[in-house]
Amino acid sequence: MKTHIRAACIAATLSLLTACAGAQPALPTTTTDQQPPATASQALSPMHSGEHGAMMMDAPFDAMFIDGMIAHHAGAVAMAKQALDEAQRPEIKKLAQAIIAAQEAEIAQMKRWRAAWYPNLSDTGGMHDVDMGPMSVAAGDAPFDIRFIEAMIPHHEGAIAMARMALQKSARPEIRQLAEAIIAAQQAEIEQMKQWRAAWTK
């Protein structure tokens, strides 16, 4: 990339809706790119691994994090939209709305970073050796609200694992700040869902 790209992004202040309303940390804004863009040498022959398909084992970590988290967030948004249609409890519908708002905003932000930082890098296939958790609500005889919780808790745990890895390996402050926001918001949602599950399954 011959020109220096600046991408100014609006931080999204996202509300974490639980039984008691809490605030979610705002998304980090994009700063001036301080690292060289990916080169052709970083896009070597992909390897195939599980459901992620082609994966670039030596791609930049931040590119893999973005690609993996976008796909992971998309799964959460799909489950949350299903909950808007099928959930019986208002608490689950409210949580679903919060998940959609927060994670769609984060997806949009990550796509802007991806375009600015790695415009010539093919899809990396996401992160390796990370259990992303369920990507859909399982069918079953239990009420949908319980099945949603049973799927979303481990899904959130997968996002937290990815975010903690980003805190250790990311070279970009924007990614580390996003990772901190993901951990804070989704850990709070996990605790709330566990409380609901305990109360609703007595």
pLDDT tens per residue, range 26-68: 555 544 444 443 333 333 333 333 344 455 668 999 999 999 9
Distance from chain centroid for Cα 133: 12
Report the helix count and the strand count for the chain, using DSSP H and E.
4, 4
* Predicted model pTM: 0.73
Percent of the chain with pLDDT over 70: 72
> What confidence category does residue 100 fall into, taking pLDDT thresholds of 50, 70 and 90?
very high
| Residue 33: exposure state from Cβ atoms within 10 A (0-12, 13-18, ≥19) | middle
User: Distance of CA 174 to CAs 21, 116, 161, 181, 190, Å?
Assistant: 26, 13, 18, 11, 24
> Which pLDDT value is given to residue 111?
98
Which residues, at least 6 apart from 97, have a Cβ–Cβ distance to it below 8 Å? 17, 80, 84
Is there a contact between 45 and 58 (Cβ–Cβ < 8 Å)? no
**Strand 22-23 to 47-48 pairing:** unpaired
Q: Is the pLDDT of residue 175 over 80?
A: yes
- For helices 90-117 and 144-169, the axis angle rounded to 10 degrees is 30
Helix (H, G, I), strand (E, B), or coil: what is residue 176? Answer: helix
The model's pLDDT over 71-98, given as tens digits with 9 standing for 90+, comes to 999 999 999 999 999 999 999 999 999 9
CATH for 59-120+131-200, among 1.10.150.120, 3.30.360.10, 1.20.1090.10, 1.20.1260.10? 1.20.1260.10
> Which pLDDT value is given to residue 35?
43
> Which pLDDT value is given to residue 129?
76
- Bridge partners, 16 (sequence order): 22
The model's pLDDT over 152-165, given as tens digits with 9 standing for 90+, comes to 999 999 999 999 99
Per the listing, tokens 């918001």 go with: 185
The model's pLDDT over 108-161, given as tens digits with 9 standing for 90+, comes to 999 999 999 999 999 999 987 788 889 999 999 999 999 999 999 999 999 999
- Mean pLDDT for 188-192 is 98
> Which pLDDT value is given to residue 4?
41
